[in-house]
Every structure is written in C-alpha cells, then in structure tokens.
Chain A
Amino acid sequence: MKRDYRRTPVLLLAGLAIICFGALLMSQKVSAAAEGKITGTVKLEGAAPHMRGIDMSKDPYCVKQHENSPAHLENVVVGSGGGLENVVLYLSQGLPPAAANEVASGEPVFDQKGCMYTPHVLAMDINQKYKVITSDQTTHNIHPLPNPLTGNIPWNESQPPGAPPLIKSWKAEEVAIPVKCNIHPWMHGYFVVVKGPYGTTDTNGSYTISGVPPGSYTVTAWQEEYPAQTQKVTVTAGAPATADFTFKAK
C-alpha cells in the first residue's frame, strides 16, 4: 500500500510531463500551419495636419530630454513618401478560431522615454501580456482608460525611476484604449487590443502581418485621427498577400 502512495506523485508528474510535451507539439503544428503573411503600405493623401509642439516646461527633466529635438504631437505622423506611421492593421474577419486563440509569442513593450510614449500606439494580441517600462529619471503614472462596456478594467499606477516593469494584459478586445500620464498631461498614446495576428506601420508606412494561415480575410487599418478602413484579402500559403491603404487628410 505505502509503496503505491509513494509512486503516485511520480506517476502524476510523468503524466503532466507527457501532457505538456503534447501541448508543445500541438502548438508547433498550429504555428507551422500559419505561414502566410500580409504586407503593404499605408499612405496619407493630402497635406499632413500641423502637429503642435509640446511645451514640457513644467518638468525640467523632460525639457532637458528634448533640448535639441523638440517634441511634437504624434496623432498623425507622416514619414518619407507620405507613409503614415502608427497605423494598426489587424484581421477583423475570417480568422479561424484555432488561430484566433493561439497565444502569440513575445511581450509588446511600451516605453516611457523623454516624457513621450514609444511606441505612440502599442498593438497587442488579446492573449498577449504587455510590458510597461520607463527610461526616464522622472516619475510617470500610466493611466489607460478603456471603455467600461468592454469589460476591460482601467488602471492607474505610477512608475518611479528605475522601478521594475509593469506586466499587464487586457480582458477583452478593444480598438483602441487611450493611455495617458497625469503627471505629464501631454503624454498620451493608445493600446490596440485585437484577436490574432496584427501589424503596425513604421516610419515609411509599411507593415507586415505575419503568421496568417491561408484563407480570405478582412483587414482593418486603424488610425487614431481618421475613420478606419477595411480591405478583403486572400492569403495563400507561401505567397504573401498585399493590401495598401490610403487615408485622406481632413
């Protein structure tokens, strides 16, 4: 009898190990299937709106950070060749549940640098955890204000210099959650919480959504100032599909 009791934990552990291993294999299978990707560029048509300069004089530290690179609002950032930065592209329709529930790897990082948010817009998968860090020598408070109806819970914590990163996640999809710092009222950005693969445009306005399983989708491009746009895209294994978007300046 006694012996059996002794053995039970060993057996349990073994079982657990097997299950884990199996799960691992499964997950690899899934990601192996998702090899297609969507690429493209997002442009702004017309004159980019004037982005006001930010006066940070309330906090001398912030001023010092921008002595030779004056800070501006980042609501609309147009790069070389009219490329629109900080546009988030995600699959709003057609994603198979398996892929939708797949846990994306990696932790998107939201940095507070020179009393600005980098990136200005942080896209993440609903299943991802995201990390808030600070590179500043002044205290910030991070205060996302999600829509109460989505079930996401607002939070408000400050992060003194050198404090460990805050690791958080959201309950529900939401496009987009504004985030601000009350100590530095000009600091503001967005969390874009989506299901499945997503991409964010770089300074040239080009983006890549990788890990898209073959199939036909609706891609939505979200920009904080302009109404969102959608396109139908069909992804086949191997060949990357392209979808370009153009926003019209107001």
Chain B
Amino acid sequence: MAKIFAVTLILIAIGSAIPIIWHIWEPPADISTHGALIDEQMSETMAEAGLSFLAAQFVLAIFVWIFSNRPKGAKIGHFPGGATAMVLAGFLLVGTEVIALGIFGSRAWASVYFQPPAADAMPIQVQAGQFAFYFRYPGPDGKFGPMHPNLINEANLNFFGLDYNESATKDDIVTAEMAIPVNREVHLLMHSKDLGHSFYVPELRIQQDFVPGLDLSVHFTATKIGKYEIVCTQLCGLGHYNMRAYLYVYSQQDFDDWLKKEAALQ
C-alpha cells in the first residue's frame, strides 16, 4: 500500500508538471511593451514553484516508500541535523526565494503602475455596464464632453449620458469596439456606470477592476497588430460570462480610417 502511494504520488507529480514543461497551456503571446518583465517574472516563479513542488512530492514519496511498515523493533532514526538544521535551511532557502521573488516582482509591478502615462498618450474612455463595454474617443478637439448620469439611456444608445448640445461633446465618438493604433501609448480612462466590472486583456498583460464611484485609469502600448478580446473578470450579474468587447490594434492609417467610419455613424 505504502509503495503504491509512493509510486502514485511520483506519477501525479510528473503528470502535473508535464503540461507546464511542454508549454501545452500557457498565457497567450504578449503584445505589450510592459509585458516582457511580467512574463520573465512568471517563468522565474514557475521554475521555483515547480521545483519546490516536485522536490516535496518526491521526498515525501521516497520516505513513505522506505520507512513504512517497518517492524516494531526497527531503530527510530533521526533526520540528519534535526529540527534546527531544517528550520535554518527552510528559513534561508524559502526566505531568500520569496524575498527575491518579491523584489523582482515589484520591479515588474513598478514598470506597469509607477510610471505616469506619457503626455502624448492617446486618451480613450471606457464605460462598463451590465453587460457590455462602450468606448469614447474625444474627437478632433481632444476633449471629452461631460457625462450626465441622468441622461444615460441605453434605449437611445446614450451609454455615457452625453448631452450632444455641449460643444466638447459634439465631436465625441462612441463605439462598441475598441481600436487603438499600434506602438502608440494609450491612456484608458475607466468608468463604470453601474457595478463593479473588470478590464482584462490577457495579451496586453492588463487586468484592472472598474470601481464604481472611483475613476481609475491604465496606460499601455500595444506592439502587435491584430484582433483581441476584452473580457470582464469581476462578477457583475447574470450576463457576466458574456460581457466582452473586441480590441483591434491597427496601423496608424487603418486606425484613422476606422475612426472616420465610426464618426460617420454617430
């Protein structure tokens, strides 16, 4: 029984590791400028976590194999060094490991969150609501018109509560899909009209909650043209699973055309 346990345990450990080692399932390729550090951090952590996982399971299995069902008379052995050595080793190994992780991790984190957006970053506003994202581009004047919650009316597609008689608002462009030019920093102003939502684009290595009553913002630069998905990761009600929008990363030219097209539809 004990030997079966040992074998099973080792098989399970190896089985669990294989998909990771063979990269069967892994995050989609990074398309952001800040993502490289995160990926690096991820693989470092994966290595350390994976090794400690395998080591622990193997040693456990081996000890169970060797020391199970020994006769009553069998000598009780003592682990070389005893508890003191073990505690010290644990402290040093795990301590240094986690501190190292923490420090490198905070470097990656800082690269995402501690820099303010560049002055020329392109502002885009996103309005989250049950259960869709809508986006607003400031238009030629580069200014967003003010939002009036009492004017929000999805029946008339007025998702932002805009008053089109206001000068700043007139040229605002509201879209249901998000498009950004490649290699241009985007400053995303996040607003939720009703509940908590979240903005998650795995390829962009970005996840940020919408906090009602607290307007947050993230900034990022996409480096690869393509079509990606924006999904909501904060439980927001029955349609949560279907709260999504598409993100198009265009060349500057295509982006301008797209924006013209959308402007015409207003």
Residues of A near any B CB (own CB < 8 A): 52-59, 73, 75, 138-139, 141, 156, 158, 178, 180, 182-186, 188
- A53 / chain B contacts, CB cutoff of 8 Å: 265
Question: How far does the alpha carbon of A123 sit from the alpha carbon of B156 in the complex, in Å?
Answer: 21
A55:B175 contact, CB within 8 angstroms: yes
Known: A186-B157, A188-B154. 5 other contacts (CB 8 A): A58-B244, A141-B238, A178-B155, A183-B238, A185-B131
Question: How far does the alpha carbon of A56 sit from the alpha carbon of B242 in the complex, in Å?
Answer: 13
Contact A52:B265 (CB < 8 A) given known A57-B245, A58-B132, A183-B131: yes
Question: How far does the alpha carbon of A54 sit from the alpha carbon of B131 in the complex, in Å?
Answer: 16
List CB contacts (< 8 Å) of B173-231 with chain A.
175-177
Question: How far does the alpha carbon of A183 sit from the alpha carbon of B244 in the complex, in Å?
Answer: 10
- B132 / chain A contacts, CB cutoff of 8 Å: 58, 184-185
Contact A55:B265 (CB < 8 A) given known A180-B154, A188-B155: yes
7 A–B contacts, CB within 8 A, in A order:
A52-B266, A57-B177, A75-B156, A156-B238, A158-B238, A178-B155, A182-B238
- A183 / chain B contacts, CB cutoff of 8 Å: 131, 238-239, 242
A186:B242 contact, CB within 8 angstroms: no
B155:A55 contact, CB within 8 angstroms: no
Let me know if B130 is at the binding interface, CB within 8 A: yes
Question: How far does the alpha carbon of A250 sit from the alpha carbon of B239 in the complex, in Å?
Answer: 36
Let me know if B142 is at the binding interface, CB within 8 A: no
Cβ-neighbour of A58 out of B157, B176, B238, B265 (below 8 A): B176
Q: How far is the CB of A16 from chain B (nearest CB, A)?
A: 44
- B243 / chain A contacts, CB cutoff of 8 Å: 58
Q: How far is the CB of A109 from chain B (nearest CB, A)?
A: 22
Question: How far does the alpha carbon of A56 sit from the alpha carbon of B157 in the complex, in Å?
Answer: 11
Question: How far does the alpha carbon of A166 sit from the alpha carbon of B74 in the complex, in Å?
Answer: 73
List CB contacts (< 8 Å) of B128-157 with chain A.
129-133, 154-157
Size bracket, chain B contacts = 20 to 34
- A156 / chain B contacts, CB cutoff of 8 Å: 238
A73:B176 contact, CB within 8 angstroms: no
Let me know if B246 is at the binding interface, CB within 8 A: yes
Let me know if B90 is at the binding interface, CB within 8 A: no
B245:A58 contact, CB within 8 angstroms: yes
* CB-CB nearest in chain B for A158: B238
- A73 / chain B contacts, CB cutoff of 8 Å: 156-157
B155:A57 contact, CB within 8 angstroms: no
Question: How far does the alpha carbon of A184 sit from the alpha carbon of B238 in the complex, in Å?
Answer: 12
Q: How far is the CB of B225 from chain A (nearest CB, A)?
A: 18
Q: How far is the CB of A124 from chain B (nearest CB, A)?
A: 20
Contact A56:B176 (CB < 8 A) given known A185-B132, A185-B159: yes
Contact A186:B154 (CB < 8 A) given known A57-B176, A57-B245, A58-B244: yes
Contact A182:B239 (CB < 8 A) given known A55-B265, A56-B176: yes
Question: How far does the alpha carbon of A182 sit from the alpha carbon of B239 in the complex, in Å?
Answer: 7
Q: How far is the CB of B67 from chain A (nearest CB, A)?
A: 55
Q: How far is the CB of A220 from chain B (nearest CB, A)?
A: 22
Let me know if B237 is at the binding interface, CB within 8 A: yes
Question: How far does the alpha carbon of A180 sit from the alpha carbon of B152 in the complex, in Å?
Answer: 14
* CB-CB nearest in chain B for A53: B265
Cβ-neighbour of B157 out of A54, A59, A138, A139 (below 8 A): A54
* CB-CB nearest in chain A for B134: A185
* CB-CB nearest in chain B for A185: B154
List CB contacts (< 8 Å) of B106-134 with chain A.
129-133
- A178 / chain B contacts, CB cutoff of 8 Å: 155
Q: How far is the CB of A52 from chain B (nearest CB, A)?
A: 6
Contact A182:B131 (CB < 8 A) given known A58-B176, A158-B238, A188-B155: yes
